[in-house]
Structure 1
Amino acid sequence: MFQKQQIMRKVLYSLIPIFLYSIYLYGWRVIAVTAVVFGVGILSEFIMEKARNKKVSEAVLVTSALLAMSFPPAVPLWVAAVASVFSVVMGKGVYGGFGRNVFNPAITGRIFTYISFPLLMQTTWMIPGVFGTLGINGQTQGSALIEAVFMILIVAAAYLIITRNYEKKGLVKITIFGSIAVTIALYVITSYAGVLQPEVDAVSTVTPLEIYRGLDSENLPESAEYINDNTLGNLFFGRRVGSIGESAIFLIIIAAIYLMWTKTANWRMILMTLLSAAVLTTIFYYAGFIADLSGGALMNPAGKTLLEQIVDITKFLFSGSLFYVAVFMSTDPVSGPNKPLAQFLYGIIIGSVTIVIRVFSGFPEGTSFGILMGNTFANLLDEISPKPKKKAKKSTAKKQTASNKPASEGAKA
């Protein structure tokens, strides 16, 4: 069924530790979101590629994994399903399938849902740790266990029916529309009955980037009061509110080393995304723009030692999904440029746009917009960048040297 792609498998291998760690942070919801996104994504790819008499590419597995781990852990599963369809169909399928998409499919799906359902994407946070049992945002809608069970069953049934009976077009259409109708009925009936309410303690949780804007989590249990601290250690080890896969910075760095060592990811894009973000953050920090987000109460360099200022800048970089996007999404070989100079410029665009939006826009995070902006200019960057100089082959150089020698010297050689 799948078209084998070794590079895509290496990306999946690098994501496994992050996925397992996220289960410890957020519990069964990680498995539920991942199952729905993978099932719907693969099924959408199957339908699109089958119409072209092609196999499903393993790239859809990477798209599904990256998309699933970019969601808040308590996001309603129907939102995750919509994003998965949009990622595969509109982000890749309409352009002709794998290798022809202009924009990163995972980011395309995430930003579509981020703009279309902003409340559901910004209020479905959880307190990380102890398998997601510490608390859930009081504004969260849905995300109960019964929802996960029914959604997974619906997706699994649709997947089996369509993949085994694709030639029966009528049955396929009935299955697609029937699945949508059953899902809508599920949410209407269970919401009316009040059984979709979260079964864990409700608190008010905010992300580290929202804390820099002067907000705090409220009604936290004593064991989770660290959430409001934004300490360097908490941010580095994922002890903070955030999306499923973005918070474990230490595991993302390990994944980056593995991907670069195996030549799966391009180091230029990773380096320049992070470096440009660091440079711009430093400029905005000393200019006072980041401190202005909280009215001067936070991230203020005045009266601090150089080491404390460096820690402030590092914490701002560790917040949000900057490292996750730099390692796994800026390095997408399809939607990114190919020439070395273009790759440097591409990373600068992503990192710079991310920080500008963080500091000056109404959105607390700007990584998705940074990737889309970089994708938009990727081809242009390749066009205006000079071709890399080809290195002369050593064997050819040796032959030319030998041919220029006198016959006697050549014989001695």
Structure 2
Amino acid sequence: SYGVGLGIEFVFATIRRHPVNEGFLVTGMLIPLVMPPDVPLWQVAVATAFAVIIGKEAFGGTGMNVVNIALTARAFLYFAYPTDISGEVWTYLGEGATAVAGYSGATPLAVAAAAAKGTQVVNEFNSFGSTWAPGIYSFQSLFLGTQPGYNGEHSPLMCLIGALILIVTGTGSWKIIVGVFGGAYGMGLLLNILAGDNAFMAMPAYYHLVIGGLAFGAVFMATDPVTAAQTETGKWYYGILIGMFTVLIRVFNPAYPEGIMLAILLMNVFAPLIDYFVVSANKTRRLKRATV
């Protein structure tokens, strides 16, 4: 990602006669973290080129992009090469001094999406892999990140540590992070009430916070200062809507059990509109106070 992305940055910097911005140093690190570990490198290169050229340089370069560049690269692979990026199957490599044993299985989100009506998703998690990797999908394992997953997404604990660093340094907005988690949890609770015999809807809401890439997206993607909402009130709406849409996409989109990528990209597009309504509401309140 660095080789292709920085190469394109150098080309556009030369053409436009401006210095190379260091922004891609962060993006180039995030792109591999949202990819499966076995994705072909040429696909990463093509996705990076698409994201930088179409998602960034076409809009004017650093600071002018509308959508998150790393997620744009991932979205490109998802739609162009869905079998390689869907993330529904992983391989578990067994431990031991002898020959390594390999196992393939569904991700937690795929297990939840495939749960039969009237069953308990938590029971499906606890029983999954019981013969060869007991507890691989227990809540503790999902929170700590000891289960297989994407390069950077499968440990909510590490993501929370990263969130603390971003908040302390003032790099990321705590309102957006809390909003994403709160929106996802709230939508999960609402679906629990409306679940009926739908197993995925009935899954405890707090499980949505530790499965898939929600934690990683909330901390490192939704807080992108260029594509996120800029007003303080707007950040709450922006984060909450991302969390809500993530859970809705997970539960009601059978073709794509994860939803954080699409939710963030969707709200990237609507972030300026959120800020517009927040600013307009503030102006209206001030005008009313001024005329009293």
TM-score, normalised by the number of residues in structure 1:
0.60
What pairs up with 1:166-185 in 2 under 5 angstroms? Answer: none
Which residue matches 1:281? 188
| Structure 2 letter corresponding to 1:204 | S
Which residue matches 1:236? 143
Counterpart CA distance in 1 for 2:129 and 2:276 is 53
Pair 369,350 (structure 1): closer, same or farther in 2 beyond 3 Å: same
CA deviation after TM superposition for structure 1 residue 124, in Å: 7.9
| Structure 1 letter corresponding to 2:105 | T
Please say if residues 72 and 125 of structure 1, whose CA atoms lie closer than 8 Å, have aligned partners that are also in contact. Answer: no
Residue 154 of structure 2 is aligned to residue 224 of structure 1:
no
Please say if residues 75 and 124 of structure 1, whose CA atoms lie closer than 8 Å, have aligned partners that are also in contact. Answer: no
Pair 106,326 (structure 1): closer, same or farther in 2 beyond 3 Å: same
3-state SS of 2:30 partner: helix
Residue 3 of structure 2 is aligned to residue 39 of structure 1:
yes
CA deviation after TM superposition for structure 1 residue 360, in Å: 0.5
Task: Flag structure 1 segments of 5+ consecutive residues without an equivalent.
Answer: 1-36, 136-198, 300-311, 390-413
TM-score, normalised by the number of residues in structure 2:
0.83
Residue 234 of structure 2 is aligned to residue 342 of structure 1:
yes
Counterpart CA distance in 2 for 1:279 and 1:231 is 22
Residue 9 of structure 2 is aligned to residue 103 of structure 1:
no
Counterpart CA distance in 2 for 1:53 and 1:341 is 38
3-state SS of 1:92 partner: helix
Which residue matches 2:77? 113
- Which of 189, 198, 220 is 1:292 aligned to? 198
Please say if residues 71 and 121 of structure 1, whose CA atoms lie closer than 8 Å, have aligned partners that are also in contact. Answer: yes
Q: Structure 1 stretch 266-275 or stretch 118-127: which is displaced more?
A: 118-127
Which residue matches 1:64? 28
| Structure 2 letter corresponding to 1:106 | A
Q: Between the two proteins, what is the percent identity of the paired residues? A: 34
3-state SS of 1:114 partner: helix
Which residue matches 2:286? none
CA deviation after TM superposition for structure 1 residue 56, in Å: 2.4
Pair 75,225 (structure 1): closer, same or farther in 2 beyond 3 Å: farther
What pairs up with 1:14-413 in 2 under 5 angstroms? Answer: 37-122=1-86, 125-127=89-91, 133-134=93-94, 202-214=102-114, 224-227=133-136, 230-288=137-195, 292-293=198-199, 299=203, 312-362=204-254, 363-386=256-279
CA deviation after TM superposition for structure 1 residue 99, in Å: 0.6
Please say if residues 125 and 242 of structure 1, whose CA atoms lie closer than 8 Å, have aligned partners that are also in contact. Answer: no
CA deviation after TM superposition for structure 1 residue 383, in Å: 1.2
CA deviation after TM superposition for structure 1 residue 222, in Å: 5.6
Please say if residues 74 and 124 of structure 1, whose CA atoms lie closer than 8 Å, have aligned partners that are also in contact. Answer: no
Counterpart CA distance in 2 for 1:339 and 1:114 is 31
Counterpart CA distance in 2 for 1:262 and 1:386 is 27
Please say if residues 184 and 208 of structure 2, whose CA atoms lie closer than 8 Å, have aligned partners that are also in contact. Answer: no
Please say if residues 208 and 247 of structure 2, whose CA atoms lie closer than 8 Å, have aligned partners that are also in contact. Answer: no
Counterpart CA distance in 2 for 1:124 and 1:69 is 17
Pair 56,134 (structure 1): closer, same or farther in 2 beyond 3 Å: farther
Which residue matches 1:182? none
Pair 107,222 (structure 1): closer, same or farther in 2 beyond 3 Å: same
CA deviation after TM superposition for structure 1 residue 293, in Å: 4.7
| Structure 1 letter corresponding to 2:35 | F
Which residue matches 2:288? none
| Structure 1 letter corresponding to 2:146 | R
Please say if residues 205 and 241 of structure 1, whose CA atoms lie closer than 8 Å, have aligned partners that are also in contact. Answer: no
| Structure 2 letter corresponding to 1:270 | I
CA-atom RMSD, angstroms? Answer: 2.7
Q: Deviations over 1:117-142 (max 9, x none)?
A: 111112585446xxxx439xxxxxxx
